[in-house]
Structure 1
Amino acid sequence: MSVILPPDVSTVDTEDGMVLLNQRTGRYWQLNANGAQTLRRLLDGCTIEEIASGIAARHQIAPDQVHNDITRVIAQLQKAHLLEASR
């Protein structure tokens, strides 16, 4: 799944990760360091599977669980209009 930030969404790196802000709606979302790294990699074109595999290996977690977590966060960000599937 390829994703993009909508034009009215900006990001700011923080000490603990990243904040996304929809400037039109005022909705925002804070991501921890893992979430920020995951979003950056998604925006760079990496697949969920590639990201999940790397995180699972580093943290000794089942890749399926990481994949599900990433998919869930993507869905939440899309619902909040902070992320879109690219076409």
Structure 2
Amino acid sequence: MALRFGPDVSTAHTDYGTVLLDERSGQYWELNPTATLIIETLLAGKDEAAATDALVVEFDIDRERAQRDVSELVAELRASGLAA
């Protein structure tokens, strides 16, 4: 399932990944390059399987770990109210 951030979430790319700002609470989230690739893939309208594939190719990790990383990040972003 594709991902989208709420209207109160701002993003900024940095040399180290991506920073998310929840403008409602003022809380910042700093995402490493792995998490950045996941959200970029999902924000482009692709699903979690595509994000898993992207991690496997880009970071040469096993599929099980990549799938777990994608699922955990998406769950955390949704639980925090940052993403739908």
CA RMSD of aligned residues (A): 1.3
TM-score by length of 2: 0.88
Which consecutive aligned stretches of 4+ in structure 1 deviate over 4 angstroms post-superposition? none
TM-score (norm 1): 0.85
Aligned to 2:34: 34
Query: Are 2:31 and 1:9 equivalent residues in the alignment?
Result: no
Contact persistence 1:22–1:81 (CA under 8 A) = no
Unmatched 5+ residue regions in structure 1?
A: none
Instruction: Specify which structure has the bigger relative contact order, considering alpha-carbon pairs within 8 angstroms and separated by 6 or more residues.
Output: 1
Structure 2: any 5+ residue segments left out of the alignment? Answer: none
How many residues are aligned here? 84
Does 1:46 find its partner at 2:41? no
Q: Which amino acid aligns with 2:35?
A: G
